[in-house]
Amino acid sequence: MSRDHAQSAPRPATETPHRSAERVAEPLVVGVEAPYLELLARGAAADAYEQPVLLARAGGHPAERIAALEHAKLLALRVRAELEGRRRREAELSALFETAHDLAGLRDLDAVLQAIVQRARSLLGTDVAYLSLNDPERGDTYMRVTEGSVAARFQQLRLGMGEGLGGLVAQTARPYVTEDYFQDERFQHTTAIDSGVRDEGLVAILGVPLMLGHHVIGVLYAADRRARVFEREQIALLGSFAALAAAAIDTANLLTETRAALAGLERANEIIQDRSGVIERASEVHDRLAELVLRGGGVHDVAAAVAEVLDGTVEFTEAAAAPPEALEASRAEGHAVRHGDGWIAAVAAGGELLGALVLRGHPNLDPVDQRTLERAAMVTSLLLLARRSAAEAEQRVRGELLDDLLDARDRDPRLLRERATRLRADLDATHVVLAARLDGTAADAEQEADARRRLWSAASHLAATRQGLAAARDGGTVLLLPLTPGDTATAVARRTARQLGTAVHEAVTVGASAPVADLAEHPEAVAAAYAEGRRCLDALRLLGRAGDGAAAEDFGFLGLLLATDRDIAGFVDRTIGQVTSYDDRRGTELLRTLDAYFACGMSPARTKDELHVHVNTVAQRLERVGRLLGDDWQSPARALEIQLALRLHRLSAPERH
């Protein structure tokens, strides 16, 4: 989402002919978005978006309108791609939830595995999907379920251990993908396997392992009859289905082992009833989890539901707060592990630890209850991924609105307000524009890019909680935050530098603009305020104040050079305002004395001659000045600011004679 565009300087107010030309050209591009909105509304194909441009060219429309149509087309295609991506992700999550629900009410293993293969084939858009299982007794692997297959020999294929792409997956316990099976020499080709693959006409094949703990029990495949590159998200999605398939097989095996054991016991009826109650309870909790997901429940709702079923205390904790050894063991084994008087189930997705479900007060869990806790952890990971996806989408939208304000693309105040309202932002409120940048030194380009992403993520979270906006820009981050009553730009800058630095564990320097208002009516003010914030940021770094935050008003007379509006009166008032007010109230001549004192080289003796007063009078007046301006008023830096303020005061308000 980063848009590192160079900022163009504001055009002088004297360029009225050019502005008139812009106003004349505006009617030519009004309404260009209408045909694309209609195409988006009816879900038209991508090639249909060329039609409005072609019609405009055929109709001899002006170049400005054609250019506007081209721009609107690109934006519409971007929106269409985003919508399609969201629909695809929703379909994937829905399929995973449906599969998890099927697993919760497992009755027929073949039906569940068939559903997994069908959904994997549909979502990945492949010609064929299939699943093979290892046969420990015969020492080989065989086809268990196929979807889309047309060759009988392929459907009955048995593979020796270590043969073919599936053998490579089973050996390494890692996914493997080949764009062209017959040209790939990474795995062992055999006549039987190659013949079956050739009968089926497969070319591109992706295989992911079915894992139970550290053991590979089979492989889930997706394959095409043409060369194809499988994307990382598709590999991860197939891996999720493989995890569900392994869980289904594990559950089925557990049920089989339980029933076989019960058959040899004298108390078979009593144990069967007990097992039936446990299984029904597990089915009930899985149904409740599915219901929670469908009605938008959160991770804490899942923990509460599992706690009620397992009759214990269940909490979701962040990965950093969970016992590290137990958490790592649970993630590595794929099962809940015993810890103290409770259990820990890792909440993970694609190898990333998202947290843990911690069960307390229940040291003894039977296998079915343990599976219940593990499946609750799986549902929790899906909820966290969905929440992260939604948060990232909102961050992108916030960044796009701020980018549009910075680039002044959309000048329609009504549309700007509507977009901001959907993000819970108020463009009619007074805001501060802040430029933030990391001050650490990265070892390489990859680490630097990662640090920038972390800064943008922290800034986006801060903006969302403050009803503001954030975007990545110019190698750093820009924020638009509302200014609350009684707050100042300086306070906002320092607070933001501290909060972002804490979030990313590095020093973050923040420069702030003066407060800006009516952004919907004057979006160009955002770009000017951002330029001022960047100047303050550069000044902080030049002055060696890395990790600090400041606004132009904090730099004394240097602030006159940094600020966009050149607030001379404000500078004079901040510097010598107390002296001028004292003279106005008391009718004294402190200001005149101060001016003469500096003109005479800060010599009281020469000052009394210049003013024709006694030297004690000069001393008394200077003592009064010290009480008004502070003890350090004669230090070199303060003296320089005071002399500049006196000069500006004379220029703006000449002495009366």
Q: Phi/psi zone of residue 601: left (φ > 0), alpha (ψ -120 to 50 degrees), beta?
A: left
Tokens of 169: 């997956």
pLDDT level of residue 4 (50, 70, 90 thresholds): very low
Least confident among 156-160, 360-364, 627-631, 649-653: 649-653
pLDDT digits (tens, 9 = 90+) for 56-67: 788 888 888 888
Cα distance between residue 341 and residue 363, in whole Å: 5
Indicate if the pLDDT at residue 642 is higher than 80. no
pLDDT digits (tens, 9 = 90+) for 573-618: 777 888 888 888 888 888 888 888 888 878 888 888 888 888 888 8
Of the candidates 70, 59, 78, the residue with the CA atom closest to the CA atom of residue 32 = 70
pLDDT level of residue 2 (50, 70, 90 thresholds): very low
Per-chain mean pLDDT for the chain: 77
pLDDT level of residue 560 (50, 70, 90 thresholds): very low
DSSP H or E run through 418: helix 413-422
Give percent of the chain with pLDDT exceeding 70: 75
Indicate if the pLDDT at residue 451 is higher than 60. yes
Instruction: Report the pLDDT value the prediction gives residue 148, as an integer from 0 to 100.
Output: 93
pLDDT digits (tens, 9 = 90+) for 191-204: 889 999 999 999 99
pLDDT level of residue 272 (50, 70, 90 thresholds): low
Kindly state the average pLDDT of the residues 7-32. Answer: 43
Q: Which residues pair with 511 in a beta bridge?
A: 435, 550
| Angle subtended by helix axes 232-263 and 109-124, to nearest 10 | 180
Q: Do the beta carbons of residue 234 and residue 205 sit within 8 Å?
A: no
Instruction: Report the pLDDT value the prediction gives residue 43, as an integer from 0 to 100.
Output: 76
Of the candidates 306, 308, 311, 312, the residue with the CA atom closest to the CA atom of residue 289 = 306
Residue bearing the bigger pLDDT, 254 or 388: 254
Instruction: Report the pLDDT value the prediction gives residue 561, as an integer from 0 to 100.
Output: 46
Instruction: Report the pLDDT value the prediction gives residue 90, as an integer from 0 to 100.
Output: 61
Tokens of 607: 């000052």
Most confident range (mean pLDDT) of 73-77, 157-161, 174-178 is: 174-178
Kindly state the average pLDDT of the residues 223-235. Answer: 89
Indicate if the pLDDT at residue 117 is higher than 60. yes
Instruction: Report the pLDDT value the prediction gives residue 176, as an integer from 0 to 100.
Output: 92
Instruction: Report the pLDDT value the prediction gives residue 333, as an integer from 0 to 100.
Output: 77
Instruction: Report the pLDDT value the prediction gives residue 202, as an integer from 0 to 100.
Output: 93
Indicate if the pLDDT at residue 410 is higher than 50. yes
With tokens 């053991």, the residue in question is 215
Instruction: Report the pLDDT value the prediction gives residue 226, as an integer from 0 to 100.
Output: 93
Instruction: Report the pLDDT value the prediction gives residue 358, as an integer from 0 to 100.
Output: 83
Residue bearing the bigger pLDDT, 276 or 326: 326
Indicate if the pLDDT at residue 13 is higher than 50. no
Residues 6+ apart with CB under 8 A from 430: 482, 483, 515, 516, 517
Indicate if the pLDDT at residue 25 is higher than 60. no
Indicate if the pLDDT at residue 217 is higher than 70. yes
Indicate if the pLDDT at residue 634 is higher than 90. no
Indicate if the pLDDT at residue 275 is higher than 50. yes
pLDDT digits (tens, 9 = 90+) for 290-349: 666 666 667 777 777 777 777 778 877 777 677 777 777 787 777 888 777 788 888 776
Residue bearing the bigger pLDDT, 500 or 403: 500
